[in-house]
Amino acid sequence: MERAESAVSSTATDGDDETRRPEGPPATMRERREELTPMLSQYLELCEAHPDAIVLFQVGDFYEAFCEAAETVARVCEVTLTQREDSTGTYPMAGIPIDNAASYLEALLDADYRVAIADQVEDAEEASGLVDRAVTNVVSPGTVVDDELLDRASATYLGAIVEAEPTDEGRGASQAAALATLDVSTGECQVTSAPTDRIREELERLAPAELLVGPDAAVETATLGFETMVTERDPTTFELATAEETLASYVAAPAAVLEAPIERRAVGALLRYAEYTQGDDGALSYVSRIRRYDLRRSLRLDATAMRGLELFESRHPGGGETLLDAVDRTSSALGRRRIEAWLRRPLVDAEAIERRHDAVGELLDRPLARETVSEYLREVYDLERLAARISRERANARDLRSLQTTLGVVPEIKAALEEAESAALRDLRGELDELEDVRDLIERAIVSDPPQEITEGGVIRGGFDDELDDLRATEREGREWVSDLEARERERTGIDSLAVGYNQVHGYYIEVTNPNLDAVPDDYTRRQTLKNAERFYTPELKRREDEILSAAERADSLEYDVFCSVRARVAEATERLQSLADALARLDALSSFAAVAAGSDYVRPEMGADTLRIDAGRHPVVERTQAEFVPNGIDFTPGHVAVITGPNMSGKSTYMRQVALICLLAQAGSFVPADAAELPVLDRIFTRVGASDDIAGGQSTFMREMSELTEILHDATEESLVLLDEVGRGTSTTDGLAIAKATTEFIHDEVGATTLFATHYHDLTDLAADLPAAFNLHFTVSKSEDGSASGKTAAENGTVGDADGGNADDSNSDVTFLHRVADGPSSSSYGVEVAKLAGVPDTVVERAHDYIRAGSGGEKADSSSDGAKSEDANVDRDSEPPDGSSTDRGDTLAAYVDGIEDSDGYDGVSEEDLSDAERAVLAELRDLDVARTTPLEALNTLEELRRKLDE
């Protein structure tokens, strides 16, 4: 049933709160309602029934829009804006061709519009008066089903989010929100409930193309980190009674399938909207399985981690490979979407992980079986979407033949797995339903190469339907009689130029040229006069014509009915087809993992270990793009903190991401790029890498960094993996180092997460001596005193020639980055050398060395952060000014504090010299209980004290 419920759409992007308002009924037409022609009245009624969409109204071979909607269509689709004139006035009009509508619809969707397709639902030739039209489909970003608008390799989700209410009792009542998602193109429907922050995280992980929300959404949609159309729905849509009424059409006992009321409300609202978009019939019968899942049963990956690890989207401006690209060797669209789903939601159950590894290992060890399976999977069509089209009655005869082809390879795949030993492969083989009845039905009913159209005949195979065969025989015999008529009449009349023909206006005729009209027999009746000829018919020809056309018309109509009957019988097997599609998708994903392992030398990791050991690990993406990738290992107990130092460009970030990706791949079920690996089962991977800001959202780069750090410090557990890259940048060196040290101590003492912390704060390496579970790693460099490193240019081998190097005594050295990790701290960050490698002018490089030499011992000056942004102009407090005068220590309070800490004693400022405000700040500092203060509280306190001093 078509539901014209109110909806308002908007688009949430990174900091973009621009709202795309619906077109609404044309104001110009509403003002002249009583004067409108019947067609424009019909258009206005459809617009009023779908105020949230642009109505595209079929007029012949075009979809037309009028008035304000026409102006939008013309602008977005770049088509000509014309005018329609009638007795009531002149109206703007714009149209798009029906045969090429997909590209124009895509443009409208990309511009964040919802489109209602109003098709002619009766034959124009049979209509008495105005042709009836109805909205047959509402197209929105989350409800597209057209293959030309869908991404073959990725699922397109429609989501609905619901906030808990006091009336939500029973299981799940303690959860703050629920998220339901539906892939309308396949029928995949799933729901979960959790605290609001977890729901937001899941929302960003799945990134639905369209999100339904109530008036009081649990998640602030304007701040979501992905693009989506946000559609506000009427509050009644989310009410439990309404939701259960909708759910009753899909499951016999909604409360038994989904015990939590909040989850029933989310799924019910989702399905109700999806029905509305499918037109009058609202056909969603293929949504036969609604799955509830628990977020605790998969490795948590938030949007920050997915972006930082480049799982599905490259961070490089020009694009680049992602983890999905690196491990995707699937043969079908089914497998591609499944492997993406596995990477989005890796397992946390060690037994389930081992089960996948067993299957991958067997396929790796049996290359012939693996290649056979992959070869046959290449012949598998997109069975999930195919089954959905069949169920929606949108499939044509070619779709059924594609299904038959897919079913035809299932026995061959089963045969290739006949000797399977692993539990996963044995179970998969048992789930490969050959659907012989469906395959046989299609083979008997549909011709091998059917036409695209299903209403013009030529679809049903002869011998399938007796009545249809009789009609086709009558038609065929009549046409054979007509084809022989020309020869017979030439012989009977003696007119050699006589010809028999046919046109749609006059039917069959006998044509005689004017010079031969005297020889026309008496039984010829004139049908049409031409310039040089006359056309006739005979009583027998007329009888045969009626017989042929009647048989052909009846046959076409019957053939369409027969095809629809066959399609409906196939649709009865939708659940079996979906189960088969699921099995084929899993098999394709496992085969892909095995193919990658074989081609890229991946090994099976040992899971559930009490250590994190990777021998000669490699970055799965970077190694594909670099000819000589340097492997690096890691070996430490989970819960330890590794402080990683070394030059820029040495590979610290790559190394950390490499460790995370190896762990993620292992828990997704893949083998890993290493010589050997023993891995714990992680519950979550956190990343604080890279620099980005959100100015529109009110966050600077540093504030964004601190927000990400806050989430890590609050949510990480002993079973988490934390990657920290340059925490503390964007503020003064003193503040940044303090934050980095406090963070390291907090993770070490309070969290206990396995942590890799890459930094240029060399003072941070001293913590390894104070914290029992902390240790240092560094990336090595090679120095060549004669400046002749390997005979290559600096840029070619990562070597930098420099007058002074990183130290005052390295003036003739070249530095080569070896990209190899080793124990202990780095001696330098070689920031100036990297600057020269990047092409910074020699004058700037030399002046930088001058400043280093002016510091205390060169390397001491580097022990802060050569990459840190300082907000003050203070020199290192341990260095003396070149002229021997006292150092400018900034404000009086800073000078006083420096005096307290100066080992030689500093008597320039006493406490009596401080202002009242400064003494008040000092008193607060003295009263601060550092041992009971969290890093975040410390940051807030520091900021408040700084504000007081500024005032």
Residue appearing with tokens 């519950």: 683
Task: Give long-range contacts, CB 8 A cutoff, 24+ apart: 214-217.
Answer: 214/162, 214/163, 214/238, 214/269, 216/163, 217/161, 217/163
Q: What is the DSSP letter of 248?
A: T
Say how many CA atoms lie within 13 Å of 603 toward its Cβ: 14
> CA-CA-CA-CA torsion for 262, 265, 270, 272, nearest 10 degrees?
180
Query: What residues contact 224, with CB distance under 8 A and at least 6 apart?
Result: 12, 200, 203, 204
Asked if residue 570 lies in contact with residue 390, where contact means CB atoms within 8 angstroms, the answer is yes
Phi-psi region of 462 (alpha: psi -120 to 50; beta: other; left: phi over 0): beta
- Mean pLDDT in the chain? 83
Greater confidence (946 vs 598) lies with 598
Query: What residues contact 689, with CB distance under 8 A and at least 6 apart?
Result: 308, 653, 656, 657, 723, 724, 725
Q: Residue 666: which of 307, 361, 368, 306 has the closest Cα?
A: 361
Angstrom distance (rounded) from CA 757 to CA 765: 10
Of the candidate ranges 15-19, 289-293, 552-556, 728-732, the one whose mean pLDDT is the lowest: 15-19
Angstrom distance (rounded) from CA 942 to CA 951: 14
Instruction: Give the ranges where 88-139 is alpha helix by DSSP (H).
Output: 101-110
Burial 471-499, CB ≥16 within 10 A → b, else e: bbebbeebbeebeebeeebeeebebeebe
Burial 302-312, CB ≥16 within 10 A → b, else e: bbbbbbbbbbb
The pLDDT tens digits for 880-931 are 343 444 433 334 555 555 454 444 444 455 666 677 777 777 777 777 766 5
pLDDT at 948: 76
Angstrom distance (rounded) from CA 329 to CA 332: 9
For 507, list phi and psi in degrees, rounded to 5: 80, -150
Angstrom distance (rounded) from CA 702 to CA 169: 42
Angstrom distance (rounded) from CA 157 to CA 52: 20
The pLDDT tens digits for 483-519 are 999 999 999 999 999 999 998 888 899 999 999 999 9
For 526, list phi and psi in degrees, rounded to 5: -65, 135
Q: What is the DSSP letter of 628?
A: S
Average pLDDT, stretch 801-813? 33
Q: What is the DSSP letter of 518?
A: G
Angstrom distance (rounded) from CA 681 to CA 660: 12
Is the pLDDT score of 251 beyond 90?
Answer: no
Angle among Cα 343, 348, 351 to the nearest 5 degrees reads 110
pLDDT at 924: 76
Angstrom distance (rounded) from CA 641 to CA 623: 26
Structural tokens at position 532: 């040089």
Handedness of CA 332, 337, 341, 344 (dihedral sign): positive
The pLDDT tens digits for 176-201 are 899 999 999 999 999 999 998 899 88
pLDDT at 164: 83
Angle among Cα 621, 320, 208 to the nearest 5 degrees reads 95
Of the candidate ranges 79-93, 112-126, 164-178, the one whose mean pLDDT is the lowest: 164-178
Q: What is the largest CA-CA distance in the chain?
A: 137
Angstrom distance (rounded) from CA 155 to CA 745: 42
Using DSSP's 3-state secondary structure scheme, residue 615 falls into: strand
The pLDDT tens digits for 830-879 are 778 777 777 788 888 888 888 877 764 434 334 333 333 333 333 333 33
Of the candidate ranges 119-123, 174-178, 280-284, the one whose mean pLDDT is the lowest: 280-284
Using DSSP's 3-state secondary structure scheme, residue 259 falls into: coil
Of the candidate ranges 170-184, 232-246, 269-283, the one whose mean pLDDT is the lowest: 170-184
Angstrom distance (rounded) from CA 443 to CA 620: 45
Asked if residue 274 lies in contact with residue 156, where contact means CB atoms within 8 angstroms, the answer is no
Instruction: Give the ranges where 446-538 is alpha helix by DSSP (H).
Output: 466-493
The pLDDT tens digits for 25-38 are 777 777 777 778 88
pLDDT at 695: 35
Task: Count other Cβ atoms within 10 Å, centred on residue 705.
Answer: 26
Asked if residue 588 lies in contact with residue 330, where contact means CB atoms within 8 angstroms, the answer is yes
For 448, list phi and psi in degrees, rounded to 5: -65, -30
**Roughly what angle, to the nearest 10 degrees, separates helices 397-416 and 574-600?**
50
Asked if residue 117 lies in contact with residue 63, where contact means CB atoms within 8 angstroms, the answer is yes
pLDDT at 933: 65
Of the candidate ranges 677-681, 763-767, 813-817, the one whose mean pLDDT is the lowest: 813-817
Asked if residue 205 lies in contact with residue 305, where contact means CB atoms within 8 angstroms, the answer is no
Say how many CA atoms lie within 13 Å of 228 toward its Cβ: 28
